[in-house]
Amino acid sequence: MRDDELIAVAERYGTPVYVYDFDEIRDRAGLFRQSLGPAIGLLYAVKANPNPEILKDALRWADGLDVSSGGEIRLCVNAGWPASALSFAGPGKTDKELELAATVGCGSISVESRDDLRRILAAGERTHTVPRISLRVNPLELTGPFALKMGGKPTQFGVDEEEAPSVMQEIAKEVSAGRAAYAGLHVYAGTQCLDPEALVANVKNSLRIAAELGAAGALKAPKINLGGGFGVPYYEGQAELDVASAGRGIAAAVSEYAQAYPETSFVIELGRYLVSPPGRYLSRVLAVKESRGKTYAILDGGMHQHNSASGNLGQTIKRNYPLKNLSNPGGTQKTTELAGCLCTPIDLLGFGASLPETRVGDLICVENSGAYGFTASPLFFLGHETPAEIGWERGESRVIRKPFALSEISVRP
Ligand SMILES: Cc1ncc(COP(=O)(O)O)c(C=O)c1O
């Protein structure tokens, strides 16, 4: 989206506001397809941005969805997705969620521990269904610059690679007794990686695990979920991922594996790569003040609406997301602290940011905000209304989620 289009959206709908460019999301999915080829399916990881209109749109560009809660299953089914296209993963799934997943017929429920397996089977019995299960494996190693690691170390995610052969035997017993159907393997060990070689190595590692389990007599995996981890450049000095290069390496590794296992299909699950750059968060400057040599621009938004840009979603070093002053692009560069409107010193969206001088009323854009923004934020902290979410498509804007106030869910005496 162009800056003038963002300014028009802020004027029309008010601020703070999230804007998602649907055309750009489709283009990114298209680039994935082009780079990885037809043998590798694409799952969209709903946790990155579960807006129902994005989920509906994903029917056009994704083959399925990665979901991690009963709430996400409901959102996807309501958006028109067949449950068979959903892959349900997560270390802690409640009985209710497992019953829902079994009843609607999720395409895959990932087994993340022996207890998880027992609980999934019990949910199948209670609902008189045969759950389709995948074995999620926590690989022995994850090498490369993955900013977030879910595997390659002790973790709550998946069954350790060392234990996988014996859990596979249990799964095989249950499958032959008709209590479960085997959907395949799931390896998801890390994310936010911008190094194509590390992404290829990660996929090769997933294929190695699959081949070794196969050689040890495991059930043939109808599908291998190879993981993902495609990153986006949030911080200064980071460059866009070379998807073509990652795609070439991944496609070659998959094609080699497929020669030995022609009946297996493959998917990769991606969240932020697809939806983060196409999303922007806009907020206006309410006040500008000097404090002991530092300049503070105080925004009408903040960490309660964009927790990840404030560095409070697990980042150890606080760094700036890409920031723009849309109202004063030619202004003199000035080091500015962009403070949110909350009464807490951790509410900052810019840390010594070099920005064209900010003035009261200026419109500030936090770019790369389409993933882990709205729903990964403590939206009701301090009781502000939530920001609207706006969809942008072929030059037209529309509200895809209205603002919501805490008072609307208060219990009245
Ligand atoms: C199992 C699984 N799949 C997919 C994702 C999506 O990650 P990203 O948005 O970085 O692509 C995550 C992120 O935590 C995950 O844990």
Q: What is the mean pLDDT of residues 185-206?
A: 96
Residue with tokens 């990686």: 193
One domain, residues 115 and 128: yes
DSSP 75-124: HHHHTT--GGGEEE--S---HHHHHHHHHHT-SEEEE-SHHHHHHHHHHH
- Whole-number Å distance, alpha carbon 230 to ligand 1 midpoint, is 9
Residues 265 and 287 in one domain: no
- Cβ 231 under 6 angstroms from ligand 1: no
Please give the share of the chain, as a percent, with pLDDT higher than 90. 92
Distance CA 187, CA 189 (A): 6
Average pLDDT over residues 239-266: 96
Residues 285, 326: contact at Cβ < 8 Å? no
Residues 195 and 93 in one domain: yes
> What is the C-alpha to C-alpha distance for residues 44 and 79, in angstroms, rounded to an integer?
14
**pLDDT computed for residue 30 by the predictor:** 98
Q: What is the mean predicted confidence (pLDDT) over 78-82?
A: 98
Q: State pLDDT tens for residues 151-182.
A: 899 999 999 999 999 999 999 999 999 999 99
In a domain, 199, yes or no: yes
166 shares its domain with 269: yes
CATH number of the structural domain spanning residue 395: 2.40.37.10
DSSP 211-243: HHHHHTTPPPPSEEEEEE-B----STT-----H
- Provide DSSP, 361-393: T-EEEE-S-SSSSGGGS-TTTTSPPPPEEEEEE
pLDDT computed for residue 411 by the predictor:
72
**By C-alpha distance, which of 180, 81, 176 is closest to 125?**
180
In-domain check, residue 375: no
Tokens 């999934």 map to which residue? 120
The answer to whether 28 and 240 have CB atoms below 8 angstroms apart is no
Q: Give the span between the Cα atoms of 88 and 91, in whole angstroms.
A: 10
- The SS3 call for residue 320 is coil
- Is 362 inside a domain boundary? yes
Ligand 1 atom, smallest distance to 372 CA: 9
Which tens digit of pLDDT belongs to each residue from 281-313?
Answer: 999 999 999 999 999 999 999 999 999 999 999
Residue 252 lies in a domain: yes
d(CA 365, CA 323): 6
Is residue 271 domain-shared with residue 300, that is, in the same domain?
Answer: no
What is the whole-number distance in angstroms between the Cα of residue 264 and the centre of ligand 1?
22
pLDDT for residue 413: 67
Would you say residue 317 has pLDDT above 90? no
CATH of the domain at 141: 3.20.20.10
DSSP string, 165-205: HHHHHHHHHHHHTTS-EEEEEEE--EE-B--HHHHHHHHHH
Domain range holding 300? 279-369+387-404
Co-location of 105 and 232 in the same domain: yes
The answer to whether residues 264 and 133 belong to one domain is yes
Per-residue model confidence as pLDDT tens digits over 200-223? 999 999 999 999 998 888 889 999
89 Cβ closer than 6 Å to some ligand 1 atom:
yes
Any domain includes 72: yes
Shared-domain flag, residues 286 and 350: yes
Residue with tokens 């923004």: 373
Q: Is residue 110 part of a domain?
A: yes
Domain count, the chain: 2
For residues 357-379, one letter each, b for 16 or more C-beta atoms within 10 angstroms of the residue's C-beta and e for the rest, the string is bbeeebbbbbbbbbbbbbbebeb
Phi-psi region of 96 (alpha: psi -120 to 50; beta: other; left: phi over 0): alpha
Atom in ligand 1 nearest the alpha carbon of residue 231: 10
**Which one has a higher pLDDT value, 246 or 220?**
246
- Ligand 1 centroid–CA 218 distance in Å is 26
CA distance 336 to 289: 10
Confidence band for 386, pLDDT divided at 50, 70 and 90: very high
Confidence of residue 315 (pLDDT cuts 50, 70, 90): confident
Q: Which residues sit opposite 40 in a β-bridge?
A: 266
Q: What is the mean pLDDT of residues 352-365?
A: 98
Last residue of a domain, one of 275, 295, 326: 275
> What are the pLDDT digits (tens) for 345-356?
999 999 999 999
Domain shared by 230 and 208, yes or no: yes
Domain stops at, among 234, 256, 275: 275
**How far apart (Å, rounded) are the C-alpha atoms in residues 218 and 176?**
13
Nearest atom (ligand 1) to Cα of 276:
9
Whether 341 and 226 map to the same domain: the answer is no
Q: Evaluate whether residue 93 is within a structural domain.
A: yes
Residues 133 and 187 in one domain: yes
Give residues with Cβ within 8 angstroms of 409, minimum separation 6: none
Polymer length of the chain? 413
Please count the CA atoms within 13 angstroms of the CA of 9 that sit on its side-chain side. 33
Task: Determine, yes or no, domain membership for 376.
Answer: no
> What pLDDT does residue 217 have?
82
Q: How far is Cα of residue 190 from the mean position of the Cα atoms in its chain?
A: 12
- Is 190's C-beta closer than 6 angstroms to any atom of ligand 1? no
Residues 159 and 206 in one domain: yes
What lies within 8 Å, CB to CB, of 9 at 6+ separation is 17, 19, 282, 390, 392, 397
Residue of 269, 308, 313, 369 to mutate, ligand 1, most atoms within 8 A of C-beta:
269
The model carries a pTM of 0.97
